[in-house]
């Protein structure tokens, strides 16, 4: 069996695998096999064909995969939870060191605890949301 035919089979198989998947899995090997097929067509040594296949495939992976992942990931929509971090909230029930209070942010009420375990934050004060722990917001008093 001659090498151009073998490389053509590799090109076709990797292209079929790529076409059947939704992720980029084998396109780089298709490109590497095309380069090896070109070398085989010009009767370059089998060793150089394999080396070219490996090197071109690796270069394609290293260059294009990070870019492809970035663009194929799509738009990540933040959930309500993500959106509240960094926002200012109004304390509706006093936050004490012993018990969580309640805050209102973006029209929703949340249980909240203070970052400073020794500080009481009275109702009516404004706080900044620092993080989320379970279903409680961790807040910091705004000065």
Q: Per residue in 16-63, pLDDT tens?
A: 998 898 777 788 999 999 999 999 999 999 999 999 999 999 999 888
pLDDT score of 93: 96
DSSP 78: P
Is 60 exceeded by the pLDDT of residue 80?
no
pLDDT score of 73: 63
Could you tell me which CATH class the domain 80-141 is placed in? mainly beta
Is 60 exceeded by the pLDDT of residue 76?
no
56, 35 in Cβ contact below 8 A? yes
Handedness of CA 58, 63, 66, 70 (dihedral sign): negative
Nearest to 29 by CA among 60, 4, 66: 60
Global confidence as pTM: 0.50
Q: Where in the chain is the domain with CATH 2.40.50.140?
A: 80-141
Contacts of 101 by beta carbon, 8 Å cutoff, 6+ apart = 91, 92, 93, 94, 95, 111, 112, 113, 121, 123
């Amino acid at each position: 069996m001659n090498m151009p035919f073998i490389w053509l089979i590799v090109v076709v198989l990797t292209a079929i695998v790529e076409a059947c998947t939704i992720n980029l899995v084998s396109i780089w090997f298709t490109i590497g096999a095309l380069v090896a097929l070109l070398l085989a067509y010009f009767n370059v040594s089998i060793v150089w064909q394999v080396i070219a296949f490996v090197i071109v495939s690796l270069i394609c992976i290293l260059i294009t995969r990070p870019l492809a992942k970035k663009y194929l990931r799509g738009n990540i929509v933040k959930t309500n939870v993500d959106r509240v971090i960094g926002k200012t909230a109004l304390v509706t029930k006093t936050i004490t060191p012993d018990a969580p209070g309640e805050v209102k942010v973006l029209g929703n009420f949340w249980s909240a605890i203070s970052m400073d375990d020794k500080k009481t934050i009275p109702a009516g004060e404004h706080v900044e949301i620092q993080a989320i722990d379970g279903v409680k917001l961790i807040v910091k008093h705004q000065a």
